[in-house]
Structure 1
Amino acid sequence: MHIFGIMMAVFGITIFMGLPIAYSIGISGITALVMSGMSIEFIAKTAFTGLDSYTFLAIPMFILAGLLMETGGISKRLVRLASSLVGDIYGGLGIVTIFACFFFAAISGSSPATVAAIGSMMIPAMEKEKYDTAFAGALTAAAGSLGVLVPPSITMIIYAITAEVSIGELFMAGFLPGILIAISLMITVYFISKKKGYRNVHAKKANLKDFLAAFSDAKWSLATPLIILGGIYSGVFTPTESAIVAVLYAFIIGVFVHKEIKLKEIPDILTKAALTTSTVVIILGFAIAFARYLTLAQIPQQLAQIILSWTNNVYMIYLLFIILAFITGTFMATEAQILIFTPMFLPILKNLGVSPIHFGIIFIIAAQLGFLTPPVGVNLFVAQGLTNCSMVTISRRVAPFLVAMTITQLLLMFFPSIVMFVPKLFF
Structure 2
Amino acid sequence: MNQAWVSYLPGFLRKRVEGRHELQRVLNNTGWLFGDRLLRMGVGLLVGIWIARYLGPSRYGLLSYAASLVGIFTSLAILGLEGIIVRDLVRFPDREGEILGTTFSLRLLAGICSYLLVIATVFILRSDDSVSQMMVAVMGSVLVFNSADTIDLWFQSKVRSKYVVYAKNGAFLLSSLLRLALVLMKAPVIAFATANAIEAALGAVGLLYVYHRDGQMVRRWKTSLALARELLKDSWPLVLSGVVYMISLRIDQVMLGQMADTHEVGIYASAVKVAEIWFFIPTALVTSVFPNIVKAKESSEEEFYGRLQKLYNLLAFTGYAIAIPTTLLGGVVIHLLYGDAYIAAAPMLTFLIWSDLFINIGVARNSYLLAMGWSWCYFWMAVSGMVINVALNLVLIPRYGGAGAAIATCISYWVAAHGACYFYKPLHRSGGMITRALLCPKFW
- TM-score, with length taken from structure 1: 0.33
* More RCO (CA 8 Å, sep 6+): 1
Larger helix fraction of residues: 2
- TM-score, with length taken from structure 2: 0.32
